Amino acid sequence: MLIDTHVHLNDEQYDEDLQEVIDRAREAGVDRMFVVGFDTPTIERAMELVDQYDFLYAIIGWHPVDAIDYTEEREQWIEDLAKHPKVIGIGEMGLDYHWDKSPKDVQKEVFRKQIALAKRVNLPIVIHNREATQDCVDILMEEHAEEVGGIMHSFSGSPEIADVVINKLGFYISLGGPVTFKNAKQPKEVAKHVPLDRLLVETDAPYLSPHPYRGKRNEPMRVTLVAEQIAELRGISYEEVAKQTTENAERLFNLEK
Domain ranges of the chain: 1-251
Residue 209 has pLDDT above 80, yes or no: yes
pLDDT exceeding 90 applies to what percent of the chain?
99
What mean pLDDT value characterizes the chain?
Answer: 97
Rounded to an integer, the average pLDDT of 208-213 is 97
Known binding residues for a divalent metal cation are 6, 8, 92, 128, 153, 204
DSSP state of 61: -
CB half-sphere exposure, 155, CA atoms < 13 A: 33
**What was the pLDDT predicted at 102?**
97
**What was the pLDDT predicted at 100?**
87
**What was the pLDDT predicted at 171?**
98
Spatial distance between the Cα atoms of 52 and 65, rounded to a whole number of angstroms: 29
- Structural contact between residues 89 and 126, judged by C-beta atoms closer than 8 angstroms: yes
Known binding residues are 6, 8, 92, 128, 153, 204
Beta strands in the chain (DSSP E): 2-7, 30-37, 56-60, 87-96, 125-130, 150-152, 172-175, 199-201
| Superfamily name with CATH number, domain 1-251 | Metal-dependent hydrolases (3.20.20.140)
- Structural contact between residues 6 and 176, judged by C-beta atoms closer than 8 angstroms: yes
This prediction has a pTM of 0.97
- Structural contact between residues 177 and 210, judged by C-beta atoms closer than 8 angstroms: yes
Span 139-177, pLDDT tens digits: 999 999 999 999 999 999 999 999 999 999 999 999 999
